[in-house]
Structure 1
Amino acid sequence: MLFLGILWMTSWIGSFLSLSDNLSPSWNTKITPTETVSNLGNLVSKHNPLDVLSQQPINTWSTALIPTNYLKINWGTQKSLSNLDNSVKSPTRVVQHSKKQLCYSLVENADNRNILEKSIHFASAELIKTRSSPRNFLPDKILGSLQDFFRFTNMAQQSFSAVTSPVILVRRDRKNYEVWVNNRVVANLPNEMQAKSLQTRLSQLTALPNLDANQLRPALVDGIPALMAGNRFLFGIEKQISRQFNRSGDLLAIEWINNLRSAFQVPTLTLLEAQREMYGLSASNVAMSGLASWYGGYFHGRLTANGERYNQNELTVAHKTLPFNTYLQVTNLKTGKAVIVRVNDRGPYIPPRSLDLSREAARCIQSEIAGVVPYKAVILHSKQPTMTLNPANLKTDKLKPRKQLALVADF
């Protein structure tokens, strides 16, 4: 009798826990803003001997990322299933060059595209589960224990705290982690530790009650391209990250800031606006013109005239006489495209050329294919104080006074 009583009790509890599964869709809690799905193709294109309720998404941490327009589809209708089935049977969808991608190559050669310029497939990806808040109430603890013991799944009650959070982390592969904010990809990072660091900072940012997204901007902090919210430091793009993706750290910072501004629905910055903000520059009355060429792979990694290693992915330029570290705003007179570059080398020595741009700078003004283009350049002056995270780095030089600013690193 005792055994039958225990069996009856466990059956009753199981029926109670799964009650919401049998309710109509209108009674079930809607999970927003996203629902993760697993093996969608198998569900709609293959016969399944088990009864599957069309109104119930299948919840799993090993997810398949799908385009955001799918998230707006009512999966329970026959029309929706037909559209989904067509998308599964169709060739793999790819994302072409995004307009948010700055200074990409116009040369249609897949071997020369870097890891971020390659097409991104909507293949399987893993959602990195973050720690959810612990259950503080005794009924929640009992319910959770019973669900774990009897392996019951309550669709309506499952929290999806990591998915519904405004900031989530997705692993595409071993060396590609995506940080999402408000259903938008903000940044790609090569390892999980760096990605989690950015995720934590952005989670703290989104929790601020008086966040002004218009203050999101790029900057140089201790010489490193960084993401800033006003004078609050968010994340620095170390050289390791830029080398991993073969991209300029300056351009990555600008792209990520623009992605973040888009996620908060504020206007993005143009390349020149972002560069002027990052370097703290203003135009002078000194201008020049002539022909500009560019140099790339053969010189990549070699010493420049100022002692740096030439990096064809950075925004630099060679000039015969201008002082090193002079900033120039160079405009391609054929395309109207402009970019800000820093003088770190001497040349060119083939007349009548007067500027030799890095390959990345040439891509920014769309002169990579032409090779040599007419240009106009304006010398820029620095107006922004040096920014640092460590107040101990602030130095006082009586002979050469320079404005310095200690930033806020904590929320």
Structure 2
Amino acid sequence: MFDYETIRLIWWVFIGVVAVAFAVTEGFDFGIGALLPFVGKTDLERRVVINTVGATWEGNQVWLILLGGAVFAIWPPVYATLFSGLYVAMLLVLFALFFRPVGFDYRSKLENPQWRNAWDWGLFVGGAVPPLLLGVLVGNLIVGLPFHLDADLRAFYTGSFWSLLNPFALLCGFIGLATATFHGAIFLQWRTENAIRQRARRAVGLIGPALLAALALALGWVLLGMERPEIIVLPATDGPSNPLAKTVALAAGGWLKHFLAHPWMLAAPALGFGGLGAAYVLGKADSPAAAFLGSALGIGGALSTVGLGLFPFLLISSTDPRSSLTVWDASSSHTTLLLAFWITVVFLPIVLLYTRWVYRVIWGAVTEKQVMQDTHTLY
């Protein structure tokens, strides 16, 4: 039904949508964990904060598993290069995520204040560290990773964990953490009342300007201060995957030229800044439902800006541009892409309908009275 070139492009779009879904849904989970010790002043208030995501955090985290599985199935060289070269960073993300299930499930097992406070800070680590490190990862995807392919297409990563912590990547790490806490604060403002709602509203007012300023700095840095690979010779895009069959050179000002050559792409950064700016204004005005929509659109716009800016590249090599992996030369076979496509067409709508039903059932403000009444069934 779809030729090889088309199905590769379809999967690029689909995995981009999954990345946005993960950032929007798991983003407010991470943000609420990072804000937990600061917006909840008493044990009861912290239980209210935790239970705003208590029924959905596990389901939201599945988007991360789906994203990793999709990359593994669709772009095996990308998966192999990322998870072997960035092994330490990925383990740190995984270890931070370990705090979440045990923190949620064990925090309320004992009434000891020290026990509960310790798990609150565990949930803080599980909420703050992953978006920080994932932001660093996005920054390095833009800058490029030090890897090369040999004649047998084996990837060799020549960097270290510390080399990932370059200035631009750290700025992106701050953006990742700020985006999650901003998004989480708006969600918390939407689903709580009284003092917690007001603290969340103040958090929106504090984080919003810093996030927008950091995004503007990162965008200017990329467009004006970074070289971008440019494909000079590209084999047929419907042919077999062979990254070394192309010729690539670095181009000064290439990022800006790339967007100016396709003006419609400018809609993505406009949506990013417009959505997050509107979310800040609406959050300050105590309209959290509209603010959450703006925040979700802003996150989608920001991630779309990264994806469109990189296209057709998936991984840029900073040491051997020719080894950079693209949509056209890093994919699985045509048969694999088609089989995965039809599996997705059948099962993804079922997952989305179930998710929509869950949120409809549990929706509403979480109150201290509700937590006290259901003290043995809620976190």
Does TM-score exceed 0.5, indicating one fold?
no
* Higher strand fraction (1 or 2): 1
| Higher CA-based Rg | 1
TM-score category, normalised to shorter length: under 0.3
**TM-score, length of structure 1 as denominator length:** 0.23
